[in-house]
Amino acid sequence: MTTSAFLTDSTLCIGCKACEVACKEWNGVAADGLDWSGLSYDNTLSLGARTWRHVKFVEGIPEAGKGGNDPASSPWNFSSDVCKHCQTAGCLEACPTGALVRTEFESVYLQSDVCNGCGYCVVSCPFGVVEKDVEDGRAFKCTFCYDRQKAGLTPACAKVCPTESIQFGELQDLRERADRRLTELRRRGVEDASIYDPVDSAVNGTHAIFIVRGDQKMYNLPPNPEVPTQYLRTGWTSAAIAAGALLAGTLLAFMGSGGKKI
């Protein structure tokens, strides 16, 4: 069993959005509007039910040396975002129907024919990836091109990427490749590059890792993504105490008053 993964190298991304287009074409995902957001060249704004690859156009606060020769111009990075396919996935734990499953490629796959649109995965994803399609009524997210992987093909986004910013492969290989790339970037003087791979968080690492420049929070990448399951013990303990109090109180009220009517 292999662990498929994406390594998305933002330092190579040219913001062409070919990955968004390829994803939509291959997976038959509907258009998600033609509204201008006014936020750089990003008009899809986030991953969602109809955006499974999303190119961020990250314009930061101007800082001398980061935005080219003009000290007043802002650093501008592109980064193609995608479902992280967490090692411990909040959505998968939360799903009450079993629609979300772990595939033989270790990816998290949402079976649309089982999904009932309860929306519990939506509030269980620490990355804000999975979303309920209001028209369809079910939740959708990146499939990691499960159908293509089954046939031995590369996911559509990785295949079309013209700069190999999106790389597809085995997780450990890609982690090593990311380390080598980071060393290379540092050697070239790109001091602000870093790898996003939250291994030491509740998700126990993701199957989509990223190389980004600047603060990772600028990319809306949480430093410490949480899996809601970790709060179950606290929640159920509290529920047990509440239930105990409810029962004790009711018993006390009825036994104490003899249940008689005034």
Partner 1 sequence: MSELPNSSPDALPAIDKENRLVLIQREALAFVPSGVSPAPRASAKNGYYELPMLKEPSWTWEIPLYFFVGGAAGGAGVIATVAQFSGASPDLVWDARRLSLAGAFLSPVLLISDLGRPERFLAMLRVFKPQSPMSVGVWVLMGFSAGTSTANLGEWLAARGRFETLAKLMQIVGDLGALVFGLPLATYTGVLIGATVIPVWNRNVSLLPVHFAASGLNAAVGLLEIAGHRTPALQWLGMGSAIAETGIGVMIETRSDPAEEPLKRGPSGWLIRLGGVLSGPVPLALRAISLFSKRGRASKLRRYAAISSVVGSAITRAAWIHAGHVSARQSRPA
- For residue 247, the number of C-alpha atoms closer than 13 Å in the C-beta half-sphere is 6
Min separation Cβ 261 and partner 1, Å: 5
56 binds partner 1 (CB under 8 A): yes
Backbone φ and ψ of 9, nearest 5°: -95, 105
Q: How far is CA 8 from the centre of its chain?
A: 13
Amino acid in position 41: Y
Strands 131-132, 4-9: pairing is unpaired
Residue 152 or 258: which CB sits closer to partner 1? 258
**Token digits of residue 238:** 């509290």
Q: Does 97 bind partner 1 (CB under 8 A)?
A: yes
Mark the segment that binds partner 1 (CB under 8 A) among 10-18, 20-28, 166-174, 213-221: 213-221
CA distance 84 to 81: 9
Is 134 an interacting residue with respect to partner 1 (CB under 8 A)? yes
Binding of partner 1 at residue 131 (CB under 8 A)? Answer: yes
223 binds partner 1 (CB under 8 A): yes
Binding of residue 60 to partner 1 (CB under 8 A)? yes
**Are the beta carbons of 196 and 9 closer than 8 angstroms?**
no
* 143 near partner 1, rule: CB under 8 A: no
Residue 231 makes contact with partner 1 by CB under 8 A: yes
Considering only 123, 150, 179, 188, the residue that binds partner 1 (CB under 8 A) is 123
Least spacing, CB of residue 10 vs partner 1, in Å: 12
Does 43 contact partner 1 by CB under 8 A? no
Does 95 sit near partner 1 (CB under 8 A)?
yes
Chosen residue from 115, 142, 209, 211 binding partner 1 by CB under 8 A: 115
**Residue of 14, 39, 190, 199 interacting with partner 1 (CB under 8 A):** 39
Beta carbon of residue 69, minimum distance to partner 1 (angstroms, whole number): 19
Report the distance separating Cα 26 and Cα 47, nearest Å: 17
Distance CA 223, CA 217 (A): 7
Q: Which stretch binds partner 1 (CB under 8 A): 3-11, 158-166, 187-195, 250-258?
A: 250-258
Say which residues have a Cβ less than 8 Å from residue 129's Cβ, sequence separation at least 6: 47, 83, 84, 91, 141, 142
Report CA Rg, the chain.
23
If one asks whether residue 137 binds partner 1 (CB under 8 A), the answer comes out as: yes
**Taking the complex as a whole, how short is the minimal distance between the CB of residue 199 and partner 1, in angstroms?**
17
Residue 99 interacts with partner 1 (CB under 8 A)? Answer: yes
Residue 193 belongs to what H/E stretch?
strand 193-196
Q: Which amino acid, 92?
A: L
Residue given tokens 């309920």 in the structure block? 132
